[in-house]
């Protein structure tokens, strides 16, 4: 079958190095050079991109050689320039990718308590900066049972222990610094809800970026559902988890937009994998045109978010 421009890019060995350079330049333009507070989120982004490579390799997410998973991740993360200074979101995003890597090792292993513990330890680490991520836990148990077939009493208790394990260290730090009231406030924040559908705190940059990422998620999800028969059963199960987690994240954002920034970071992880599957494994004239549109729209939104002043509602 004829290779189109999108396929040459998706299969290129130079795609990831190019995106790393471009990502660095975008972050430099966003203030990385003179704002030391951006170095930690930037480091988290680069490490997360490397883990996305490992996530793809270990689980064979793309059945051909392609670095489009990590390239899409870097492109979407760099596009949301208003999140550059969000250390909370960057840590949560990094831990979320690590969570996936560990969790998928438990596929069809109801005695795989070790990998489940490591997965939920990563999720627990994410909760130390974004405690609301624990709302996903009951749904993750359901996904483990339905798609990974690894849920059992043994893995259930491993997940509980893993989730609370990071706090064994965090509570010591709070005790040493005599800030136990902050530790309590961290958990009480779970019960703090704003009125539903209150978008008054979102500016137009966040709204437009969210709609674009949601469009990519829809395109990637529809493609995966239509073409899933070409993938191995394990790969289908993994992509079903990405799709369901993305739907849950979108619902979370719609209901409680006060947590928009860290949730968009999590949404980008799932969406980048779904759209990478679409870009790498489609070869029609229509999808090639759509690839041009996606690249142009991503570049436009990057410039729009980077240089046009925010207009707060």
3-state secondary structure 13-35: CCHHHHHHHHHHHHHHHHHHCCC
Q: What percent of the chain has pLDDT over 70?
A: 97
Residue 122 has a pLDDT of: 96
Average pLDDT over residues 279-288: 91
Residue 180 has a pLDDT of: 80
Asked if residues 263 and 252 have their Cβ atoms less than 8 Å apart, the reply is yes
- Per-residue pLDDT band for 1 (boundaries 50, 70, 90) equals low
Average pLDDT over residues 68-77: 96
Average pLDDT over residues 261-267: 96
For residue 156, is pLDDT > 50?
yes
Average pLDDT over residues 202-216: 94
Asked if residues 52 and 226 have their Cβ atoms less than 8 Å apart, the reply is no
State the average pLDDT for the chain.
91
Q: Which residues contact 15 (CB under 8 A, 6 or more apart)?
A: 9, 67, 68, 71
For residue 312, is pLDDT > 60?
no
Q: Report pLDDT digits (tens) over 37-69.
A: 899 999 999 999 999 999 999 998 998 889 999
Question: Which one, of 228, 241, 214, 253, lies nearest residue 100 by Cα?
Answer: 241
Average pLDDT over residues 158-185: 86
First to last CA, the chain: 49
Average pLDDT over residues 70-89: 94
For residue 311, is pLDDT > 80?
no
Asked if residues 203 and 310 have their Cβ atoms less than 8 Å apart, the reply is yes
Q: What percent of the chain has pLDDT over 90?
A: 74
- Per-residue pLDDT band for 292 (boundaries 50, 70, 90) equals very high
3-state secondary structure the chain: CCCCHHHHHHCCCCHHHHHHHHHHHHHHHHHHCCCHHHHHHHHHHHHHHHHHHHHHHHHCCCCCCCCHHHHHHHHHHHHCHHHCCCHHHHHHHHHHHHHHHHHHHHCCCCCCHHHHHHHHHHHHHHHCCCHHHHHHHHHHHHHHHHHHCCCCHHHHHHHHHHHHHHHHHHHHHHHHCCCHHHHHHHHHHHHCCCCCCCCCCCCHHHHHHHHHHHHHHHHHHHHHHHHHHHCCHHHHHHHHHHHHHHHHHHHHHHHCHHHHHHHHHHHHHHHHHHHHHHHHHCCCHHHHHHHHHHHHHHHHHHHHHHHCCCCCC
- Per-residue pLDDT band for 166 (boundaries 50, 70, 90) equals very high
The structure tokens listed for 237 are: 């199960």
Average pLDDT over residues 199-217: 93
State whether residue 103 is helix, strand or coil: helix
Give the C-alpha separation, 133 to 127, whole Å: 6
Give the C-alpha separation, 83 to 218, whole Å: 22
- Per-residue pLDDT band for 173 (boundaries 50, 70, 90) equals confident
Asked if residues 297 and 213 have their Cβ atoms less than 8 Å apart, the reply is no
Indicate yes or no: pTM above 0.95.
Answer: no
Q: Of 59-63, 110-114, 242-246, where does the model show the most confidence? A: 242-246
Which long-range contacts (C-beta less than 8 Å, at least 24 apart) are formed by 295-299?
Answer: 297/212, 298/75, 298/76, 298/79, 298/212
For residue 313, is pLDDT > 60?
no
For residue 35, is pLDDT > 90?
no
Question: Which one, of 176, 104, 95, 97, lies nearest residue 128 by Cα?
Answer: 95
């Amino acid at each position: 079958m004829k290779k189109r421009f999108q396929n040459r890019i998706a299969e290129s060995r130079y795609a990831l190095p190019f995106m790393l350079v471009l990502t660095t330049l975008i972050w430099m333009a966003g203030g990385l050079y003179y704002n030391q507070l951006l170095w930690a989120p930037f480091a988290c982004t680069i490490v997360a991109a490397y883990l996305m490579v490992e996530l793809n390799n270990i689980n064979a997410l793309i059945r051909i050689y392609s670095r489009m998973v990590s390239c899409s991740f870097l492109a979407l993360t760099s596009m949301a320039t208003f999140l550059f200074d969000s250390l909370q979101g960057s840590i949560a995003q990094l831990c979320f990718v690590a969570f996936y890597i560990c969790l998928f090792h438990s596929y069809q292993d109801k005695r795989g308590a070790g990998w489940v513990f490591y997965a939920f330890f990563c999720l627990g680490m994410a909760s130390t900066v974004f405690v609301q991520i624990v709302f996903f836990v009951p749904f993750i148990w359901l996904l483990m049972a339905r798609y990974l077939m690894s849920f059992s009493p043994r893995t259930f208790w491993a997940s509980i222990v893993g989730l609370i394990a990071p706090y064994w260290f965090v509570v010591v730090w709070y005790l040493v610094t005599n800030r136990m009231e902050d530790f309590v406030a961290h958990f009480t924040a779970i019960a703090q809800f704003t009125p539903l559908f209150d978008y008054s705190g979102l500016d137009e940059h966040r709204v437009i970026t969210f709609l674009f990422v949601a469009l990519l998620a829809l395109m990637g999800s529809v493609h995966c559902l239509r073409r899933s028969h070409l993938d191995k059963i394990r790969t289908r199960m993994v992509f079903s988890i990405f799709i369901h987690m993305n739907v849950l994240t979108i619902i979370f954002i719609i209901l409680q937009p006060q947590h928009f920034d860290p949730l968009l970071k999590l949404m980008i992880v799932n969406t980048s994998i779904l759209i990478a599957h679409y870009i790498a494994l489609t070869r029609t004239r229509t999808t090639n045109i759509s690839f041009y549109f996606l690249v142009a729209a991503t570049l436009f939104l990057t410039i729009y978010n980077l240089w046009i002043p925010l207009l707060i509602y």
